[in-house]
A and B are shown apart, each in its own frame.
Chain A
Amino acid sequence: MKNKECVAMLLAGGQGTRLKSLTKKIAKPAVYFGGKYRIIDFPLSNCTNSGIDTVGVLTQYEPLILNNYIGIGSSWDLDRSFGGVSVLPPYMQAEGGGWYSGTANAIYRNIEFLDQYNPEHVLILSGDHIYKMDYNHMLEYHIAAEADATISVIEVPWSEASRFGIMNTNDEGRITEFDEKPEFPLSNLASMGVYIFKWDVLKRYLMEDEEKEGSSHDFGKDIIPALLNDRKKLNAYTFDGYWKDVGTVDSLWEANMDLLKEEPGLNLSDNKWRIYSKNPNQPAQYIAPCATVRNALINEGCRIYGTVDTSVIFYGVHAAQGSVIKDSVIMPNVKIGKNVKIHRAIISEGSVIEDNSVVGDSSPDSQITLVAEEGSVMASSYATIIK
């Protein structure tokens, strides 16, 4: 039987409620980032660049845009004859069915999908993070250590450690304890939500967990503790690079602003590690004689007649004369009228900002204003917005 050494399973069913109205109609992995991308482009491109050509994408919440976006995976070179990308929504069976009740349950219900490829290892990913990572290095480490599971961790500032799932390890990097959001952390190694399991081990634990009364069928809460409990070999793989959870409006804004720093932690122009995305077929961007553009990322199809300062502008955005966009993220196809002022804001796809509107608060440390598609204004602002 043909088999794959490693198959990736990407958990993309999350709602991302803390992103407020940005995720009203789309799943969190489909949220825009970096002038051109959606969050899911990062794990999918990482897979392609790491030589992992079989990816199951588990969808559940608002899957329309995500399904449409993924298509047959050709944007990420994942349209393969054996393997490639498969979208795996919850389904009904003869004896019933229902929604995925947790991350582990989502994988459990796709055991048959995985068994088709008879993989030795399974890589579990989430669609919530911005990072570039060679999963192949992690896989090599996992294989060399003969671990049952390897969890990718990143050092976070001690002050923030209590916000994360923290791994306590011994000198050899073996995980001794897992603390979900500990009040008094013993380590600052946070789980990145990237796991590699031996498939036969994971399969057994998924089946056992499914039978357990009161289990929430979650990797962090149930599967990992069960493995630790049985003294299985769990290793921590330390990742050293840019990694950002973009689960909130503020952190999404921050991650976009990170790209504009003098030495950005995330290099999007690395030819050896391209981040692929679906191509919107737009002409070159036009910067008008009356425009001023400074410290900005701008995508194709934009027309800038106003001032753009320290901002990230997605494709197809039109900014009219006299408009000022500062410290903001403007998502695709937004039309900005004359003399509009936008400060410290995220404007979501397709919004129309009428002439002379003022959006956001320019004082530093003020809350980030979110203008959602429906035209409602979040947080403090004095804008007139018409969709």
Chain B
Amino acid sequence: MDLIAGIINLDHEQDLLEELTYFRCGAAVPFAGRYRMIDFTISNMTNSRIESVAVFARRKYRSLMDHMEQGKSWDLDRKRGGLFILPPDWNDPTDLSRGDLQHFHNNIDFIRRTLADYIVVSGSQNICSIDYRDVLESHKESGADVTVVYKKVEELQPEHNLAHKLTIDDSGRVMAIHNDHQSNNVYMDMYIIERDYLNQLVENCIAHGCSHLFLDGIKGRLPDIHINAYEHEGSHALINSVESYYRNSRKLLNESEHDELFKEEFPVFTKVKNEAPSQYAYSSNVTNTLVANGCTLEGHVEDSILFRGVKIGKGAVIKNSIIMQRCEIEENAVLENVILDKDCSISSGRTLIGAPEKPFVVAKRKTM
């Protein structure tokens, strides 16, 4: 079996989720009731038997480090390899690198020392369930220098504006990478590459003053470089705005969408909180809702997502909302089209209503 190592490159991910990314990076945003965005990327790696993962963090990584600890929850507390969270604190006076190449340059030992022959480089904004061993197989068959993963979307959504698209020939070879809104082959910000080739690419990019490994080193070398395209089938969500976060979160209330992301043989791992099962009172009325553990529910909840430890008081009405960890909604409060970040409390009788296409977002620890 070929060994694969993983790099989760958060360097150029922008924090565009408004209140949700004021204090944390996009990768650390809570998602689907009990996870954070990065859990999906790391779990894909763990499930693909990747045992060595580096996270290139640049900004607002406090909550990310708190969440990941030693990587135990993803089975990445390994003697050899394991999880490396690598924030920027670089003190090499001869360092000429710029952009995300700073990360590759200063952490080149991760690439040089790993026993793996291949490296998957991925961002954290594309939520999916993917086996990188299949990507590797396609990569090896194609004989390509790099294999990129893409999703053929039925209809482009606003969040896809920011994503690159691919023009692919019949053999599956990438002819162009661009931002043309006519194309629906959305690049999922993940590629697989041979370790030695990546090492060369990094050195070469730095020597030529590049600042973005993928754009300058890979996209910029077309057509000389052979890029193979791997199509991801199954559910996919690109989350880079509050609107895409809200819409894609609520998509999980659909059973088949949910099942494509949460497969029994491909579990999604996250930090364990040891919460008790959720408690539904006589007065509760909960329908079409995802509920994490540790909740105490006494009110009415529909078409919503409740994270761990949420309390909903008697007579409260929650519709089309996402309520994050440990929020307390007191009696008779009304929330519709609202996203509450962690630790918010809504006092009794309050009403908060957002627009269906633009939810009202309340920042962490707010009391209203």
Report the interface size for chain B: residues with CB under 8 A from the other chain: 36
Set of chain A residues within 8 Å of B32, measured between Cβ atoms: 283-284
Dominant SS among interface residues on chain A: loop
With A283-B268, A287-B287 given, is the CB distance from A298 to B280 under 8 Å? yes
A297 CB contacts on chain B under 8 angstroms: 276-280
- Chain A contacts of B276 at CB under 8 A? 34-36, 268-269, 275, 297
Taking a contact as CB atoms under 8 Å apart, the answer to whether B258 and A286 are in contact is yes
Tell whether A294 is near chain B: CB-to-CB under 8 Å.
yes
A384 at the interface (CB under 8 A from B): no
User: What chain A residues lie within 8 Å of B258 (beta carbons)?
Assistant: 283, 286
We find that the number of chain A residues with CB closer than 8 angstroms to chain B is 36
Which residues of A have CB within 8 Å of B272? 279
Interface positions, chain A 281-311, Cβ under 8 Å from B, are 281-300, 303, 308
Q: Please tell me if the beta carbons of A295 and B287 are within 8 angstroms of each other in the complex.
A: no
Interface centre among A269, A275, A312 (most CB of B within 10 A): A269
Interface residue stretch chosen among B198-206, B233-241, B289-297: B289-297
Whole-angstrom distance between the Cβ of A309 and the nearest chain B Cβ: 9
Task: Select which of A74, A289, A291, A294 is within 8 A of B282 by beta carbon.
Answer: A294
Residue of A nearest to B309 (CB): A269
* Beta-carbon contact of B34 and A294 below 8 Å: no
Residues of A within 8 A of B302 (CB): 289
Q: How far is the CB of B340 from chain A (nearest CB, A)?
A: 16
Q: Is the Cβ of B291 less than 8 Å from the Cβ of A287?
A: yes
Smallest Cβ distance from A74 to chain B, in angstroms?
A: 8
Closest A residue to B268 by CB, please name it: A283
The answer to whether B291 and A284 touch across the interface, beta carbons within 8 angstroms, is yes
Kindly report which residue of chain B lies nearest to residue A36, judged by CB atoms: B277
Q: Mark A235-272, 1 if CB is under 8 A from B, else 0.
A: 00000000000000000000000000000000011000
Q: Is the CB of B296 within 8 A of A269?
A: yes
Q: Could you say which residues of chain B place their CB within 8 Å of the CB of A303?
A: 255
Decide if B169 is an interface residue (CB 8 Å cutoff).
no
Query: Do A293 and B262 have beta carbons less than 8 Å apart?
Result: no
Judge if B305 is at the interface, Cβ distance under 8 Å: yes
Q: Residue of A at shortest CB range from B307? A: A284
**A284 near B34: Cβ-Cβ < 8 Å:** yes
CB of B157 closer than 8 Å to a CB of A: no
Residues A286 and B277 in contact in the complex (CB < 8 Å), given A281-B267, A294-B282, A295-B282: no
How many angstroms from the CA of A294 to the CA of B286 in the assembled complex? 9
Footprint of A on B, CB under 8 Å? Answer: 32-34, 72, 253, 255, 258, 262, 267-269, 272, 274-282, 284-294, 296, 302, 305-306
Give me the interface of A with B, judged by CB distance under 8 Å.
34-36, 74, 268-269, 274-277, 279, 281-300, 303, 308, 312-314
Nearest first, the 4 A-B pairs at minimum CB distance are A284-B33, A35-B277, A268-B276, A299-B277
Contact sample, A vs B, 25 pairs, CB 8 Å cutoff: A36-B276, A36-B277, A269-B275, A274-B274, A276-B274, A277-B274, A279-B272, A281-B267, A282-B267, A283-B34, A284-B32, A284-B305, A284-B306, A286-B258, A286-B290, A289-B287, A289-B288, A289-B302, A294-B282, A294-B284, A296-B280, A297-B278, A298-B277, A299-B293, A300-B277
Kindly list 11 other residue pairs between chains A and B, CB separation below 8 angstroms, not including A35-B276, A291-B286. Answer: A276-B274, A283-B258, A283-B290, A284-B290, A293-B284, A297-B277, A298-B278, A300-B34, A300-B293, A303-B255, A314-B277
